[in-house]
């Protein structure tokens, strides 16, 4: 067993067994964060270095789907509270997006990363290369604040120790208001970003992110090389 100190606390690695959550294919690795009570089960075989090296077209695909927000696309209101962007990303209905209503922490982190790096809210959060890519502990603080204010519901997944998040009726009202303020072009970009997140498995999402942002793979726990 090994442990690593991180922004979010101490992460402890244990191997899968019959008594633990199974990875999607075969035995994986559970990364446990006792402070956040969040476990992620990773299928190491699907994230080998060979898979990432052969995924050069993935960067092209990400650029084709999302592109890079330009000021000519319309200026988003960056005077919003930072958590407004988080609420917008989480509200599938306000964005008129396909996919599930709830999002898990991995997809939330990656969504806010893409928004901060190539979307209409540049520099929204500061990210560091982490065990499964770009990570910002401030996102957890904002999720907690939105939940406490009644804008989000946090649901513990059965058999797992991490949560998913979805907007409440009160949160949806606020998200619709914010969507009207930022305009249709911004909402369209957020819709595409959300659908990008929800149509990929954990492994596929990481490979796409690493292909476009190899510097965020340097601390990867999956044997990924730049």
Rounded average pLDDT over 138-152: 97
Candidates 38, 33, 26; CA nearest to 12 is: 33
DSSP-based three-state secondary structure for 173? helix
Residue 23: the pLDDT is: 32
What confidence tens digit (pLDDT) does each residue in 36-50 have? 433 443 333 333 333
Of residues 58 and 38, the one with the higher pLDDT is 58
User: Does residue 79 register a pLDDT over 60?
Assistant: no
Residue 159: the pLDDT is: 80
Residue 98: the pLDDT is: 97
What confidence tens digit (pLDDT) does each residue in 175-218 have? 999 999 999 999 999 999 999 999 999 889 999 999 999 999 99
Candidates 153, 182, 190; CA nearest to 168 is: 153
Query: Domains (ranges, CATH) in the chain?
Result: 53-217 (1.10.10)
In this prediction, what percent of the chain has a pLDDT beyond 90?
52
Q: Cβ–Cβ contacts within 10 Å for residue 156, how many?
A: 11
Q: What CA–CA distance (Å, rounded) separates 194 from 90? A: 8
Q: What CA–CA distance (Å, rounded) separates 7 from 72? A: 36
User: Does residue 1 register a pLDDT over 50?
Assistant: no
Task: Give 139's pLDDT tier (boundaries 50, 70, 90).
Answer: very high
Contact 191, 31 (CB under 8 A): no
User: Does residue 4 register a pLDDT over 60?
Assistant: no
Contact 30, 16 (CB under 8 A): yes
Contact 3, 131 (CB under 8 A): no
What confidence tens digit (pLDDT) does each residue in 91-132 have? 999 999 999 999 999 999 999 999 999 999 999 999 999 888
Q: What are phi and psi of 101, to 5 degrees?
A: -75, -35
Q: Cβ–Cβ contacts within 10 Å for residue 180, how many?
A: 11
Task: Give 174's pLDDT tier (boundaries 50, 70, 90).
Answer: very high
The end-to-end CA distance of the chain, in Å, is 26
Residue 70: the pLDDT is: 59
**Average pLDDT for the chain:** 75
């Amino acid at each position: 067993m090994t442990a690593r100190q991180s922004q979010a606390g101490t992460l402890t690695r244990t191997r899968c067994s019959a008594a633990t959550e199974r990875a999607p294919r075969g035995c994986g690795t559970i990364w446990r964060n006792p402070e956040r009570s969040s476990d992620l089960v990773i299928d190491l075989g699907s994230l080998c270095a060979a898979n990432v090296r052969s995924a050069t077209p993935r960067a092209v695909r990400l650029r084709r789907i999302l592109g890079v927000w330009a000021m000519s696309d319309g200026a988003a209101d960056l005077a919003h509270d930072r958590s407004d962007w988080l609420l917008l990303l989480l509200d599938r209905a306000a964005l008129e997006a396909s996919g599930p209503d709830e999002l898990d922490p991995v997809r939330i982190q990656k969504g806010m990363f893409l928004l901060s790096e190539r979307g209409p809210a540049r520099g929204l959060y500061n990210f560091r290369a982490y065990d499964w890519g770009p990570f910002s502990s401030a996102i957890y603080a904002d999720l907690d604040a939105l939940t406490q204010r009644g804008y989000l519901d946090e649901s513990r997944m059965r058999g797992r120790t991490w949560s998913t998040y979805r907007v409440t009726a009160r949160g949806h009202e606020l998200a619709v208001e914010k969507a009207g303020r930022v305009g249709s072009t911004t909402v369209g970009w957020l819709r595409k970003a959300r659908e990008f997140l929800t149509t990929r498995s954990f492994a596929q999402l990481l490979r796409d992110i690493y292909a476009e942002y190899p510097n965020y793979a340097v601390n990867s726990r999956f044997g990924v090389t730049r």
